[in-house]
Amino acid sequence: MKIDRLLAITVLLLNRGRLSAKELAERFEVSSKTIYRDMDTLSQAGIPIVAHQGISGGFEIMEHYMIDKYWLSAEEMSTLVAAVKGMSSALADQQMDILLEKVKALLHRVEQSFGGEYRRESVVMDFQPWGQRQGLKNSVSLLKQAIQESRRVIMEYISSEGASERRIIEPASLILKGNVWYVQAYCLVREDERIFRLSRMQRIEMLSEHYESRPLSGKESLEWKTSWSHEQEQETVLLFEASARQRVADIFPPEQVNVSPDGAIRVQTRYKLDEWFYGMILSFGAQVLVEQPHEAAEELKRRAQRIISRYGNQDR
């Protein structure tokens, strides 16, 4: 709708400054002529649009102009409340509680402008996972304070190989990836940027030493880096019993899964044969059989035999 595009253009210009007609046309998938007409409409509505000519030209909103009305819809505001509630569930932070109350107050005023009560709780966000380790709020709060005050942190970190190492870090950002907390930091021991998983950080202490901010990589797209595991990816075929279908759906995308008429499940994918892979497969117990690669099946047999021998020693 045109009104939605006009509002979106206004917000973009307020946030980003000058934008060309071509950039706006490409973003909203309309012609440049449509953008020029939109600018005329915004100007007639009282928004101070300034047009600049030349190579670096474009449109921008006059400096110091701001929208002082409640231009978020009740539904959008309700979604914002849900997001803040979710963050509040994961942070022991009084500021987050205060923010939640402020956003709730804004929602109430927006609802009044719509002439009634908007149905709430259509979306619920809770970043405290079921069945996983609790009690990370204190660590999150400590690291948040260290970031705000630019102070170094010392800890013991359990690596993916199970080794415990003393590390001193300069934390830069807290990252909530799915329902797992990480911290992006510069590690003084490795003399390089690292991403640490909070659940593996033990005995965390904030030091009195301050640090100067360092340029670290962007966090807009946090994808798994193949360099984090030294193993090579291999074609992997897994055969699951029908009783494992629920967990298979949790882990594997539908295009990798083939269910036979008798309910048996065949998964064809690629994996690095590292500790994470073997831990994931063993968590299925007898519900899975590794058909390929052969070396993975043999390694799982060796691990299963070691498990049996440990329980056998208890009988003596």
CA neighbor of 288 nearest in space, from 306, 307, 257, 264: 264
Q: Does an H or E element contain 88, and which?
A: helix 74-90
DSSP β-ladder status, 257-259 and 265-272 = antiparallel
The per-residue pLDDT for 181 is 83
* 3-class state of residue 294 by DSSP: helix
The per-residue pLDDT for 121 is 58
Give the position of tokens 């380790």: 133
Question: Average pLDDT for residues 231-254, to the nearest whole number?
Answer: 90
Asked if 231 and 272 count as a contact pair (C-beta separation under 8 A), the reply is yes
Contact partners, residue 89, CB within 8 Å, separation at least 6: 125, 126, 127, 128
Of residues 118 and 27, the one with the higher pLDDT is: 27
Task: Report percent pLDDT > 90 for the chain.
Answer: 31
Q: Mapped to the 3 state alphabet, what secondary structure does 151-210 carry?
A: EEEEEEEECCCCCEEEEEEEEEEEEEECCEEEEEEEECCCCEEEEEEHHHEEEEEEEEEE
Show the tokens assigned to 133: 């380790």
Contact partners, residue 264, CB within 8 Å, separation at least 6: 239, 240, 241, 242
pLDDT digits (tens, 9 = 90+) for 179-235: 778 899 999 999 898 889 888 888 899 999 999 988 877 655 555 555 555 668 899
DSSP β-ladder status, 233-240 and 201-210 = unpaired
Look at the chain and count its residues. 316
pLDDT digits (tens, 9 = 90+) for 141-179: 899 899 989 999 999 998 766 788 999 999 998 887 767
The per-residue pLDDT for 99 is 63
Asked if 273 and 296 count as a contact pair (C-beta separation under 8 A), the reply is yes
